[in-house]
Chains A and B, each alone.
Chain A
Amino acid sequence: MPSSPEIAVPTRRLFLPGVPGRIRAGAGSAARTAGPAEVAALVLLSMLILVAIVGPMLSPYSGIIPSGAAHRPPLSPGHLLGTDNLGLDIGTRVLLGTRTSLFAALVVTALSAVAGLVIGTLAGFSGGVLDNVLMRVTDLFLALPATIVAMAIAAGLGPGLGSSMIGIAVVWWPLYARLVRGEVRRAAGSLHVEAARISGTKGLRLVIRHVLPSVLPTVAVTASLDVGGVIVTVAALSFVGLGSSAPAPELGLMAAAGLQYLVTSWWIPIIPGICVGLLSLLFNYTGDGLRAVLRAKGA
């Protein structure tokens, strides 16, 4: 991913192990294929998503109505993950929170990817002044500290899950715009696009039929690698009070509200945190496997 000399900023996503970018420059890593660990992560992830969708319906408890004694530890009869300070069933709330996290992360990632796809394609395919302007704007966004800006935007819009999602999407699309622009330029120079151009295809049709198909897999893989990061970011914004307000079952909020009970009932703040970590881990792991498989195919 080339950075312009003007504002030289590598992509922010680099904390994720193995994301293509400046840091991979000297990497002598051979293409791996998905091993049993990746497959296991994929299976676990699918199960988790299924449970998050169906689970709350199967649970006998409500996420916001107390259902028993307060401060029951995990593995108590009737409450597998215990209850919180109000006597709410943590298991049920964590399932609901997982569902919210997944929803928010998928929407934010999809929005950013689509916005980046449109802007990146426009820049990469048009070239010239438009390309220059769009990429300067993109670089500008990349140079700002993402999560801090997302927090400021969400605070300006007024706390709420929707505001956090908008705030994060605003700082997340530039990554895709850069990626897509590079891929489009690469694809536009390839022989099959040249052939299509010579045989009279042009404009939107050329882009959609001949350029985008080779760009989309890369975007899809990047997006799948990104979901884990977005989940953590959504949780962080919720933790500092920019998500829904209590008693909404949001994972970051649950961890923040339970913090004062860490000494007496550790499970109240810890279990939602573990849930966020697990979700993000599974997404990162499967995303990385997907990338490896795709790279092995492409190479």
Chain B
Amino acid sequence: MLRFVARRTGALVIVIFALLVLVFLISRYGGGDPVRGYLGANASTSAVAEMRTSLGLDAPVWVQFWDYLVRLAHLDLGTSLGSRRPVSAELGQRLPATAELALWTVVCSALIGVLLARVYSLKGRFSGVLRLILFSGASAPSFLLATGGLLLFFMHLHVLPVSGRTSYGASSGLTGMYVLDGLLTGNLAYAWDALRHLLLPALAAGLGPGVALARVLADGLTTGLRSAYARTARSLGESESSVLWRHSLRNAASPALSLFGVQLGMMLSSLVVIEEIFSWNGLGQFLVQSIGGSDTNSVATISLVLGVCYVLLNALVDIALALVDPRVRLG
């Protein structure tokens, strides 16, 4: 087990390094010449050369990369062109919002996945209508799900709020995750309100991954229910629901969990779109705003943060998988 963790951590370091190189290249060479952009097109050649030297832009690339790493280590990430505030401050403020939404999205997709898989395994595998629904859920772009959801739940049914994270104003709590803060401070009305704001964005982002999960789980469940261990359990007098939930689901969980790590990537990118639609002041909204303001440096930095989160979570999923499934850690 220790060897597996060591190996996985080594791979993690390499991947993060590659991500750093990529992001460095984008923030350094993307978005045109920063010196020309600052001095204007009419600046003299000597002024440009002088500024280039003073900024260290004429140094060899690896020296510049090292400088970049040092600045990253000091959390000196530059200034956001949009808000004129340090990017690190923006990130720190917005990270809990995205973390909260991501967390509930994971919960939603897991629920959708298990429920759909249950229905799927009941009905016989390729019951046409269900198959079409599953395909539609996996095919629909997240912005369609979000806008469609708003149309239904906000405009027609009037049951859910339209945007934002709360009707009361930012929480003063410790975590910056509003539902949790509300619960921690005992302010149940606040938590309930935050939950209502969360529901639609989390569903819109979680439906696609949930459907994918359902397919995998359903595959596993149907094989599991026909397997020898299920027959043994039945012959020992276990009820059908116990066979399903206790035995088949557990055996189907391993491939589903490994799929989940991959789905996180999809989830992250749909969160970007979803946050913009619901005015959710997280990293995704910051990313879209920076794209709109042609702020290449901020775009690169936010991508780095999201990328590192994804890579870390994936490593954790793999290690969790190895913990529950010896085939993974020995294979």
Contact = CB atoms under 8 A, between A and B. Distances in A.
A228 B139 CA distance: 7
Interface string B1-32: 00000011011001100110011011101111
B209 A15 contact: yes
A270 B151 contact: yes
Interface in A169-188: none
Given A151-B299, A240-B291, A255-B147, A280 B141 contact: yes
Interface residues of A, number: 65
Interface in A1-42: 5-12, 14-18, 22-29, 32, 37
Is chain A's interface secondary structure helix, strand, loop, or mixed overall?
helix
Contacts of A8: 8, 11, 318, 328
Contacts of A240: 272-273, 276, 287-288, 291
Contacts of B147: 255, 259, 262, 266, 269-270, 273
A224 B299 CA distance: 32
Given A144-B307, A236-B143, A276-B141, A155 B18 contact: no
B266 A12 contact: yes
A143 B11 contact: yes
A248 B155 CA distance: 29
Contact of A14 (B22, B135, B151, B259): B259
B140 interface: yes
A130 interface: no
Interface stretch (A44-52, A83-91, A156-164, A200-208): A156-164
Contact of B31 (A14, A18, A143, A158): A158
Contacts of B223: 26-28
Given A9-B262, A140-B14, A284 B135 contact: yes
A236 B141 contact: yes
Given A17-B134, A32-B126, A269-B147, A145 B208 contact: no
A145 B143 contact: no
A29 B144 contact: no
B282 interface: no
A91 B292 CA distance: 27
A195 interface: no
Contacts, number: 225
Given A269-B147, A284-B139, A156 B30 contact: yes
A263 interface: yes
Contacts of B128: 37
Interface stretch (B46-54, B55-63, B165-173, B213-221): B213-221
B23 to A, nearest CB: 7
A232 interface: yes
B77 interface: no
Interface in B127-166: 128, 132, 134-136, 138-144, 147-148, 150-151, 155
Contacts of B331: 5
Nearest to B306: A148
Nearest to B29: A156
B31 A156 contact: yes
B299 A236 contact: no
A253 B212 CA distance: 27
A262 B150 contact: yes
Contacts of B19: 144
A196 to B, nearest CB: 34
Contacts of B141: 232, 235-236, 239, 252, 273, 276-277, 280
Contact of B151 (A17, A153, A262): A262
A152 interface: yes
18 contacts: A5-B7, A8-B11, A8-B318, A15-B209, A23-B259, A29-B125, A140-B15, A144-B19, A145-B269, A153-B26, A155-B30, A235-B141, A236-B141, A240-B288, A262-B147, A263-B155, A277-B141, A284-B135
Nearest 3 Cβ contacts at the A-B interface: A156-B30, A273-B144, A147-B269
